[in-house]
Amino acid sequence: MSTMAKIELPFVQTFKDRHGRQRNYYRRKGHARIALPGEVGSAEFMAAYAEARARDPERSDEARRSVAMSRVPPRSINALVVAYYGSQDFLDLQPRTQSSYRFILDRFRAKYGERGASTVETPHLEAIFLSMAGTPGAVRNLRKRLNTVFGFAVRLGWRRDNPVRETKPPRNKSPGFIPWSEAEIERFRGRWPSGSRERLALELLLCLGQRRSDTRLMGRQHLVDGNKIKVVQQKGGKPLTIRIHPDLQREIDQHPHCMTFVVTEQGAPFSEAGFTKWFVDRAVQAGVIDRTPHGLRKAAGRRLAEAGCTAHEIMAILGHSSLSEAERYTRDARQEVLADSAMDRLEAETRTAGVKPV
């Protein structure tokens, strides 16, 4: 059997008939089977599979629209993206992540979808990325998504190589979210006393180091073992269990009746945008300007590194999937320690240089 037959696709039923010929069907319980011609993974098979997925009555309207490509040129970029949308790799992603990936890939195939997936070479992609030079973040995101899609093309047998791998990602010149300083944290605490919603939100963000998307939904249902909090990160779906810092525990104890810790004036959970707007406004009132909730996640990483935590320990708190992300905190903290040590040596050398020998 070829390597293409090893591609895992949902709802594909494969068997041999009485003549020994392999038969492939798209099969959903309670619905008629749809024949899928050709070898599993072939252009003919994938085009038929994409059409079956698009017509599937069990799928949502949004999902059907995203794969409604029943008549696309065989082995085109359109056909490749459609095949990827139907793959287990894509279907295993969180719905929010799927939506983000579709937004990026659908814009790309709207421009280049009719081109053959096997004819795309590294110089073609470099030219596309160069035309987007003014938005390096968008280039990085597109490059990541295309790397996945063309890697999938190699697994399907549509290509021998992945042309994205030889492209060069743009340098990240943006400093990203700025971490809160200790002075800014204390300024916020001074404005919003213990027991306030604002103070609880600050300690949740700072002591747990999670994103706003997870922090805004935290509540008593996430408390475990008496002194820990358990959260499944929306980005990536990683489960984390973190012991509650005394500063945070003190604030939680003062809100005994809140199922969701931080809520709106109407008592409902915040939306992501609403939480950010509310918190930034409270920060401004405290005299902390141009700082965001994510900056407190950065501050949490900095604090962990300054406390001597290893990169793996930082990953266990923040939930990073890449060691390099966590190592950035330890590297920055180590730099400051080494710089202080160097200045101590320099100042000592300066003092002793002024002492005349006896």
Q: What is the pLDDT of residues 55-114, one digit of tens each?
A: 666 654 444 544 444 455 678 999 999 899 989 889 888 887 888 899 999 999 989 998
The reported pLDDT for the residue numbered 193 is 96
pLDDT greater than 90 at residue 52:
no
pLDDT reported for residue 247:
96
Spatial separation of the C-alpha atoms in residues 67 and 87, rounded to whole Å: 12
Instruction: Name the more confident of 236 and 266.
Output: 266
Is it the case that residue 1 has pLDDT exceeding 50? no
Q: Mean pLDDT across the stretch 265-286?
A: 94
Residues whose CB falls within 8 Å of the CB of residue 48, separated by 6 or more in sequence, listed in order? 26, 34, 35, 36, 37, 38
**Contact yes or no for 320/295 (Cβ under 8 A):** no
Mean pLDDT, range 170-175, rounded to an integer: 68
Task: Tell me the pLDDT tens digit for each residue of 273-283.
Answer: 999 999 999 99
Whether the predicted pLDDT of 186 surpasses 80: yes
What is the per-residue pLDDT for 356?
Answer: 57
Indicate if the pLDDT at residue 330 is higher than 90.
Answer: no
Predicted pLDDT of residue 3 = 42
Give 311 or 49, the one with higher predicted confidence.
311
Highest-pLDDT range among 67-71, 247-251, 264-268, 310-314: 247-251
Region 139-144: mean pLDDT is 94
CATH of 182-338, one of 1.10.10.10, 1.10.443.10, 1.10.260.40, 3.40.640.10: 1.10.443.10
More confident residue, 152 or 99: 152
pLDDT of residue 6 exceeding 60: no
Does residue 4 surpass a pLDDT of 70? no
Q: Model confidence at 201, in pLDDT bands (50, 70, 90)? A: very high
> What are the φ/ψ torsions at residue 342 (nearest 5 degrees)?
-65, -40
122: pLDDT strictly greater than 50: yes
pLDDT value at residue 69: 45
With beta carbons less than 8 A apart as the criterion, state whether 258 and 198 touch: no
Residue 163: half-sphere exposure toward Cβ, Cα within 13 Å: 15
CB 198 within 8 A of CB 283: no
Tell me what percent of the residues of the chain surpass a pLDDT of 70. 88
* pLDDT in the model for residue 163: 95
- pLDDT exceeds 80 at position 350: no
- Cα–Cα dist 66/99, whole Å: 10
- What distance in Å separates the CA atoms of residue 67 and residue 86, rounded to the nearest whole number? 8
More confidently predicted of 337 and 113: 113
Q: What percent of the chain has pLDDT over 90?
A: 51
Ranges for all domains in the chain classified under CATH 1.10.443.10:
182-338
Mean pLDDT of the chain: 85
Segment 32-55 mean pLDDT = 75
Q: What is the three-state SS of the chain? A: CCHHHHCCCCCEEEEECCCCCEEEEECCCCCCCEECCCCCCCHHHHHHHHHHHHHCCCCCHHHHHHHCCCCCCCCEHHHHHHHHHCCHHHHCCCHHHHHHHHHHHHHHHHHHCCCEHHHCCHHHHHHHHHHCCCCHHHHHHHHHHHHHHHHHHHHHCCCCCCCCCCCCCCCCCCCCCCCCCHHHHHHHHHHCCCCCHHHHHHHHHHHHCCCHHHHCCCEHHHEECCCEEEEECCCCCCEEEEECCHHHHHHHHCCCCCCECCECCCCCECCHHHHHHHHHHHHHHCCCCCCCHHHHHHHHHHHHHHCCCCHHHHHHHHCCCCHHHHHHHHHHHHHHHHHHHHHHHHHHHHHHHCCCCC
More confident position, 228 or 28:
228
